[in-house]
Amino acid sequence: MGEAVSPINLNLKHPELFRDQAYVNGKWIEAKSGKRFDIVDPGSNQKFASCPDMAAEDADDAVKAAHEAFQVFRTFTPRTRADLLAKFDALIREHKDDLATILVYETGKPLVEAYGEIEYAASFTRWFTGEAERVQGATFPAAIPGRRIFTIKQPLGVTAALVPWNFPIAMILRKAGAALAAGCTMVAKPSPETPLSALSLAYLAEKAGYPQGVFNVLPTTLTNTPSLSEALCKHPLVKKVTFTGSTRVGKILAAHCADGLKKLTLELGGNCPFVVFDDANLDQTIDALMPLKFRHAGQACITANRVYVQRGIYDRFANLLVEKTRQIRVGHGIDKTTTMGPLTVPAGVDKVAGQVEDAKKNGGTVLTGGNRMKLNNGYFFEPTIITNASQSMKIASEETFGPVLALFPFDTEEEAVKLANDTSMGLASYCFTKNVDRMWRMFENLEAGMIGLNSGNSSAAESPFGGIKDSGFGKESGKDVAINEYLITKTGTLTLEGQY
């Protein structure tokens, strides 16, 4: 079965969970080219593993295997699919310690956050275990006598999942949970930074009893990612593509899928506004903002990117925020005392450093942080708070994806709405106020797919997740809507004789 041993000691309780080969049709394989690539620990900039560099030429075998598996898997009863997902869920929870360790070394996030991601990820396998048996058709009264109209739901077929590096286990399971519950098979392409966690999930899926070809994983490099992704999007046997990542790449993938008119779900960039009114409970607001902003060093699509604070509480809010921010302990994720780890890629450090310098040139004041950190040779940046932010700064228009938070003052509700909506993106927005009338107006007037109302991170398996505008389309969790992304609705019309 191609068991592998890590070049460094990860101290895994279950060493067999560590996998460094691609997984296709129930087999652990190398790339046809024979090439491999290194996996780097962001907390130390040290290579600690390698994986096959799968390319476009490797896509066809994986898709065909998934297609053949679909012919059988689609016939599994909803109860059988639910039972398989339940076994998968139980194995994920059983191996959470090892999965958390792998997550730390791949992403850099602190151990406590790695455990949090696994719990969040497993909420999707648990949720979709139930959804598998909740797929239903409907009947419709006919306008013409003697007719009966009804619908049934059927799985789409082979799906391709293109997954980011910031929450590699959660993003795969949010997609795979819905697909497997619906009766679809999947070819997953993890990010080049985080293939090991995806391969660990493939091992657990196999152990849970999924047939060969139902779940496949193709690791690859950044160099081969565009061509491999294009091959998956354009393959005639792939019927659905789901992608989480940047708006720029999402538009490219949409073009790839257009020729085949493939069903597509896109969860793209955020640049999310966070609006705080004078009457907000500041302790509640800051308790929500801190993890929303600094979790995984600010590398989340729904993180608060632009914080608008009403002028009457601006200075007080800034001081409270600085006090909390200075309590963050930056370090390697495997250190249990660390509360914020490194950025996952070195380019992320360059981007946030550039935004800080741009803010200072445009009148911004750095109250705390603002610098790169020399720590273990990793990709670290100080948690940073900037005041006197303005719309002329890059941080107002660019998604930061790092531990830099800028405070923008505003005076009126109308001004806040205009500023918050002044972006091409519309993933999530947040509003804090104790005025219920204002809260409802903000809920209706903010242009985003998800609105946090006196709430920070509100992503949950039972809650529909997805954006509008340049943040994409489709839903990835929630009752009915997520699993429907992997189903077709077929309409039947029956004409009866001898009946009204």
Catalytic residue list: 267, 301
**3-state DSSP helix/strand/coil percent for the chain, to nearest 5?**
40, 25, 40
CB 215 within 8 A of CB 205: yes
CA angle (186, 189, 192) in 5-degree steps: 165
CB 218 within 8 A of CB 28: no
Give the long-range contacts of residues 323-329, CB within 8 A, separation 24 or more: 324/286, 324/290, 325/290, 325/294, 325/368, 325/369, 325/383, 325/384, 325/385, 325/405, 326/368, 326/383, 328/294, 328/383
* H-type alpha helices, 150-212: 168-182, 195-208
- Using a 10 angstrom Cβ sphere, with 0-12 exposed, 13-18 middle and 19 or more buried, the burial of residue 97 is middle
Structure letter (DSSP) for residue 469: E
Task: Report the interhelical angle of 195-208 vs 168-182 (nearest 10°).
Answer: 30
Separation of alpha carbons 164 and 246, rounded Å: 9
Q: Which residue has the tokens 């896509």?
A: 59
Strand partners, 410: 310
Q: Which residue has the tokens 């679809």?
A: 184
Strand partners, 453: 431
